[in-house]
Amino acid sequence: MSDKLASHFMAPKAGPAHDHGDKFKVEKLDFFYGKFNALTDITVDIKRHAVTAFIGPSGCGKSTFLRCLNRMNDLIPGTRVEGKITLDGNDIYAPGVDPVDLRRRVGMIFQQPNPFPMSIYDNVAYGPKLHGVRKKSELDGIVEESLKRANVWKEVKDIMGRGGLTLSGGQQQRLCIARVLAVEPEVLLMDEPCSAIDPTSVQKVEDLMAELKDRITIVIVTHNMQQAARVSDYTAFFLQELAGEPAHLIEYDRTASLFTTPKDRRTEDYITGRFG
Amino acid sequence: MQSRERMDKRITNGIALGVIWLAALATVGALGTILLYVVVNGIGQLTPAFIFGWPHGVNMDGGIWPTIQATLYVTALAMLITTPIAVLAAVYLAEYAVQGRLVSTIRFAADSLASVPSIVMGLFGLSLFVEGIGMGFSVLAAALALSFLLLPIIVRTTEESIRAVPKYIRWGSYGLGASKWQTVSRIVLPSALPRITTGVILAAGRAAGETAVVIYTMGTMINAPVSPLDPGRTMPVHLMLMAQEGINMPAAYGTALLLVLMVLGFNLTARYIGRRNRRMQG
């Protein structure tokens, strides 16, 4: 294992299981697509070394909000953010913050598996190479370890030279997770990572999330409430009540509490399947 | 009533299908007729002596080797000059430029440049490169004039190839903390490369067959050019002069056949690259 990775794996673990500090603090966030106010007044703390799920009906802004956390929305022309998001206490929208550095720390997995058109090995080695890892032995170590952590090593270890796009959808998604893990992010944002893959892979992705959260803060957007209940420690429920109006964060709580004793009537209606 | 309507539909459908089918047949037929005509008239000429020999005498007997060399030389030089500029310009247009008035103006200019008659490009090359800068009739002057013709073609095909790379693949790269240039150079361009290559090769075919531009910039002297400042006569020019004077029609058809084969070879290579890549990525 490389020194870089070793130090990463030996990083101090989170405190007691029920005492998570805040990784992100979001205060009074508003988000605009051009003139359209898509999200308003979002205030939420995302706990370190836990899995936080964002749930809500389609079009409620949960994916948009997820992309605010690594400034991915910067890539969409005409978007604008108001309010404040801090990562470990530092404002990520402050002038002088390089979104490129931010995105290395805050990795992202998309709904559609998106391997690069290159070999499995090169897909995973891409990130470390970007950030200056050159030595073959070191790259080999990172690639193997990342694929193991992403629960896909056994399936690909003998076909590392094959194109990433030749894998099944579920394997591709885990390859993409390995690709992100290879740059040692502190946070992993997952935008409906399981909605386009087979059930066996879904199981493997959910397993790896449970294994990863010791070291990584995970935020997952999901349409599937059972999945949110299974994998997450905290859940945030978003809702856009009227078309054309901005979406709000309706309720945020420990997953166990939110699903059993929701405080807001709208949350209860949603989780009991009365709409959405 | 209902059955009549259905009958009408069937008839109109049949007529439409017939017309479309005829149009398709005409397209294939046109290509087939031309190819057949050139092959029938030129095949007898295709001997090693014709391909590798020099022309001699007032009737241009013998071979056409110097014109083949001049054609390949000017095409290669033109591609060498044009491709890097065109690809970088396309990267700018597709990836960096703020999409707005300026970019659509540039795009319109490129399209207009592509539609300027090639004889005008030839005249322009004559006054700017041959006389203005003083290169004289030369491979270099012709390559530069050709690059005006090829630039917009390659820019547009490259730009479209770059735009065809899916957004979510770029996002994957940005999501790993890649900078814009890292994403463009390591992910977008390699993904777009097969389509770009196809466009470049098709443009090379266009350059190899160009007559009007090269006759005014490279001259008509039969010469196997070595230095870029040497003059020369390309195959299309050779063909034109022989046919115009009617001095040696068999040699003209032989030249035509070789030229067609060369351009066809470019097109088939382009197709092969496009297909092979689709297999690799699919």
Query: Residue B44 phi/psi, 5° resolution?
Result: -65, -25
Res. B2: pLDDT tops 80: no
Q: What CA–CA distance (Å, rounded) separates B26 from A177? A: 53
* Distance from the A3 Cα atom to the nearest Cα atom in chain B, whole angstroms: 20
Residue A242 — very low, low, confident or very high, per pLDDT cuts 50/70/90? confident
User: Do B191 and B219 have their domain in common?
Assistant: yes
Q: How far is CA B65 from the centre of its chain?
A: 22
User: Do B216 and B241 have their domain in common?
Assistant: yes
Rounded to two decimals, the ipTM of the complex is: 0.81
Instruction: Give a yes or no: residue A117 inside a domain.
Output: yes
Mean pLDDT, residues B5-11 taken together: 77
| Model pLDDT, residue B9 | 83
For A49-84, how does the pLDDT look when each residue is reduced to its tens digit (9 = 90+)?
A: 999 999 998 888 899 999 999 999 998 888 999 999
User: Do B235 and B136 have their domain in common?
Assistant: yes
User: Do B17 and B60 have their domain in common?
Assistant: no
| Model pLDDT, residue A203 | 92
* A272 contacts A59 by C-beta, under 8 angstroms: no
User: Do B39 and B174 have their domain in common?
Assistant: no
Mean pLDDT, residues A83-109 taken together: 92
Of A176 and B267, the one with more pLDDT: A176
Q: How many domains does chain A have?
A: 1
The beta-carbon neighbor of B172 closest among A104, A110, A130 is A110
* Inter-chain touch A105–B177, beta carbons under 8 Å: yes
Instruction: Give a yes or no: residue A72 inside a domain.
Output: yes
Domain that holds residue B120: 50-281
- For B171, nearest residue in chain A (alpha carbons): A72
Portion 147-166 of A in contact with B at CB < 8 A: 163, 165
For B179-204, how does the pLDDT look when each residue is reduced to its tens digit (9 = 90+)?
A: 999 999 999 998 898 889 989 999 99
Res. A47: pLDDT tops 90: yes
Res. A11: pLDDT tops 50: no
Cβ–Cβ contact A176 with B under 8 A:
yes
Domain that holds residue A129: 3-271
Q: The domain spanning residue B75 has which CATH number? A: 1.10.3720.10
In this complex, how many residue pairs, one in chain A and one in chain B, have their CB atoms less than 8 Å apart?
A: 71
User: Do B19 and B114 have their domain in common?
Assistant: no
> A212 is written with which tokens?
């990863």
For A185-226, how does the pLDDT look when each residue is reduced to its tens digit (9 = 90+)?
A: 999 999 999 988 898 899 999 999 999 999 999 999 998 889
* Inter-chain touch A75–B174, beta carbons under 8 Å: yes
User: Do B87 and B35 have their domain in common?
Assistant: no
What's the Cα-to-Cα distance from B136 to each of A29, A192, B69, rounded to whole Å? 67, 65, 19
* Distance from the A246 Cα atom to the nearest Cα atom in chain B, whole angstroms: 25
Note the pTM of the prediction, 2 decimals: 0.76
The beta-carbon neighbor of A103 closest among B175, B186, B281 is B175
A104 contacts on B by Cβ (under 8 Å): 176-177
| Model pLDDT, residue B278 | 58
User: Do B72 and B24 have their domain in common?
Assistant: no
User: Do B221 and B101 have their domain in common?
Assistant: yes
Q: How many domains does chain B have?
A: 2
Instruction: Give a yes or no: residue A76 inside a domain.
Output: yes
* Distance from the A271 Cα atom to the nearest Cα atom in chain B, whole angstroms: 31
User: Do B7 and B88 have their domain in common?
Assistant: no
Q: The domain spanning residue A103 has which CATH number? A: 3.40.50.300
Q: Which phi-psi region, left, alpha or beta, contains residue A77 (left: φ > 0; alpha: ψ -120 to 50)? A: beta
Instruction: Give a yes or no: residue A276 inside a domain.
Output: no
A interface mutation test: which of B161, B170, B176 has the most A CBs within 10 A?
A: B176
Res. A150: pLDDT tops 90: yes
Cβ–Cβ contact A172 with B under 8 A:
no
Q: What CA–CA distance (Å, rounded) separates A58 from A223? A: 8
User: Do B31 and B160 have their domain in common?
Assistant: no
Query: Mean pLDDT score of chain B, rounded to an integer?
Result: 89
Portion 14-73 of A in contact with B at CB < 8 A: 70, 72
For B51-68, how does the pLDDT look when each residue is reduced to its tens digit (9 = 90+)?
A: 999 998 888 888 899 999
Instruction: Give a yes or no: residue A7 inside a domain.
Output: yes
**Any idea how long chain B is?**
282
User: Do B91 and B12 have their domain in common?
Assistant: no
Mean pLDDT, residues B231-255 taken together: 91
A72 contacts on B by Cβ (under 8 Å): 171, 174-175
Q: What CA–CA distance (Å, rounded) separates B13 from B24? A: 16
> Based on the number of CB atoms within 10 Å of its own CB, is B243 exposed (0-12), middle (13-18) or buried (19 or more)?
middle
